[in-house]
Structure 1
């Protein structure tokens, strides 16, 4: 058990790249942590860390040792958390990184789900980060990262939560004034409210068997789905929106579906974690989001 404890200390130092930050995370004196790691190096006969005044870096042997220690420590921590009532009564602090600003997905989709999750599991405290920097699951205090779009190739574990269906929407007054397109190709004659990024001026639409790419244009291009929705309310054009966001506007008469037989490419949502060995609270949060978002 003592050796496992020292391995856990070593893992935290490598993750933090700093004795000071690791000591703060662990709640022990910096001098004690440094001494324990030195004792570990002597015990196994290997130098594990390059120490400088600015940062800590693992040696080649230290990196290999870290990767093995981390798996062992993760498995031991998971086994400990799953003892007794941990699975029956979930508790603890869950830290999640949500899609960064513009926070449209977090506001429209995540906020109601977070409220429901918090009500079901009152023992779990929740901490969310919406900063624009990509969270680092190795060094940042984050349990899970939620992101839109296909994840980049990496060593992270990606779990697909949903594919959000997207369609075309406009206000009734806009369609009365400008006419309603009968075919995707007619969108070139309309004011199209476009989300900034790749594919902003060319939309790919599908009606099942057929796919069609259409060139679109207009005066408005921006980086916020919330603003696109608002401009569509104000009769300024046709917007490409996730169906879950537009559903309330359809029911309230603010928007109407355009080309209802056609859909845009769905938007994928993923949960990213550092390991497959997840605490019960993190695993349940991911499962909850997947169950709810699949119905969105």
Structure 2
């Protein structure tokens, strides 16, 4: 039993490469944690960590041991929690990273609904633009929009959101209404993290045609919320996920441009570091999958 406990402590240290940070996270004194890991190394007869005054590094043996032990510890924790979940609602702190604008505009009401139905869960949300490191940082899940580039993480598709062009009635009254994708070259187009000249790919809703159009404009930035706001201020045409434009369309601040054409749909993923998830995280992901796309949730891959 001592070996298993020490194995779990070693995994916590190896995840963050720091005795002090691991000790703080699990509530064990730093000196105790260091002593227990040293005892583990002595028991197995191999050095697992290179210790210097500046940093920790896994040895070759430590890397192999960490990969094996992490799975065992995850399975043990999950088995323990699942037995408890037979008698109780999910509980604990759910730490999630959310897209800034999509989280604020669209996910906030869903978070309120989820919180009301799971009173035992408390929440810590990170809405900074950066992509958190799910391996070394204490996050349970990250909700991300767009295709995932990190093959080391587990991606669960939650929804595929339709996307169209939008502009304000004031802008269209001043600049004219484009009749086709090629007309966009004569318009101010609001871009998201693009070069001065952007290429927008648009497809007919019926799938009969696709056109690549090089567009330009004075504004390129990294905030969807700011792009949407600039569009409501008559500054140009913007590509938006329909869900983020709903309120402005309903209020008359925006309307669809070229409604027979659509931009590439945007996938939404729940990203986790492992497939072995505690109940609080499983329920959260299942809830979002159902609410984000209820008519297709049963067909989305897990």
Return the TM-score normalized by structure 1: 0.92
Of 138-147 and 227-236, more deviation after overlay is shown by 227-236
User: Following the alignment from structure 1 to structure 2, what is the Cα–Cα distance between the partners of residues 36 and 222?
Assistant: 49
Q: Secondary structure at the match of 2:270?
A: strand
Q: CA, structure 1 residues 198+265, in 2 after alignment: closer, same or farther (shift >3 Å)?
A: farther
Q: Partner of 2:4 in structure 1?
A: 4
Q: Partner of 1:184 in structure 2?
A: 181
Asked if the contact 1:87–1:280 (Cα under 8 Å) also holds between the matched residues in 2, the reply is: no
Q: What is the CA deviation profile of residues 124-153 of structure 1, one whole-angstrom value per residue up to 9, with x for unaligned ones?
A: 010012334432222211111222221114
Give unpaired runs (5+ residues) of structure 2. Answer: 296-302
Of 243-252 and 78-87, more deviation after overlay is shown by 78-87
Q: Partner of 2:222 in structure 1?
A: 223
Q: Partner of 1:267 in structure 2?
A: 266
Matched, 1:292 2:265: no
Mapping of 1:17-96 within 5 angstroms? 17-85=17-85, 89-96=89-96
Shift of 1:11: 0.4
Shift of 1:116: 1.7
Q: Partner of 1:15 in structure 2?
A: 15
Asked if the contact 1:205–1:211 (Cα under 8 Å) also holds between the matched residues in 2, the reply is: yes
Shift of 1:96: 1.0
Q: How many residues align?
A: 293
Asked if the contact 2:11–2:69 (Cα under 8 Å) also holds between the matched residues in 1, the reply is: yes
Q: CA, structure 1 residues 132+191, in 2 after alignment: closer, same or farther (shift >3 Å)?
A: closer
Matched, 1:193 2:190: yes
Asked if the contact 2:196–2:217 (Cα under 8 Å) also holds between the matched residues in 1, the reply is: no
Q: What is the CA deviation profile of residues 183-239 of structure 1, one whole-angstrom value per residue up to 9, with x for unaligned ones?
A: 111112222222232696211001122111112123333322222222222222222
Give unpaired runs (5+ residues) of structure 1. Answer: none
User: Following the alignment from structure 2 to structure 1, what is the Cα–Cα distance between the partners of residues 213 and 134?
Assistant: 39
Q: CA, structure 1 residues 96+268, in 2 after alignment: closer, same or farther (shift >3 Å)?
A: same
User: Following the alignment from structure 1 to structure 2, what is the Cα–Cα distance between the partners of residues 78 and 284?
Assistant: 14
Matched, 1:154 2:147: no
Asked if the contact 1:156–1:275 (Cα under 8 Å) also holds between the matched residues in 2, the reply is: yes
Of 120-129 and 15-24, more deviation after overlay is shown by 15-24
User: Following the alignment from structure 2 to structure 1, what is the Cα–Cα distance between the partners of residues 282 and 164?
Assistant: 31
Match of 1:105 among 85, 102, 105: 102
Q: Secondary structure at the match of 1:150?
A: coil
User: Following the alignment from structure 1 to structure 2, what is the Cα–Cα distance between the partners of residues 80 and 173?
Assistant: 60
Q: What is the CA deviation profile of residues 154-204 of structure 1, one whole-angstrom value per residue up to 9, with x for unaligned ones?
A: 311111222221111122232233322221111122222222326962110
User: Following the alignment from structure 1 to structure 2, what is the Cα–Cα distance between the partners of residues 284 and 198?
Assistant: 40
Of 254-263 and 130-139, more deviation after overlay is shown by 130-139
Q: Secondary structure at the match of 1:182?
A: coil
Matched, 1:117 2:114: yes
Asked if the contact 2:196–2:216 (Cα under 8 Å) also holds between the matched residues in 1, the reply is: no
- In angstroms, what is the RMSD of aligned CA positions? 2.0
User: Following the alignment from structure 1 to structure 2, what is the Cα–Cα distance between the partners of residues 133 and 285?
Assistant: 22
Return the TM-score normalized by structure 2: 0.90
Shift of 1:29: 1.9
Q: Secondary structure at the match of 2:5?
A: helix
User: Following the alignment from structure 1 to structure 2, what is the Cα–Cα distance between the partners of residues 171 and 237?
Assistant: 8
Q: CA, structure 1 residues 185+133, in 2 after alignment: closer, same or farther (shift >3 Å)?
A: closer
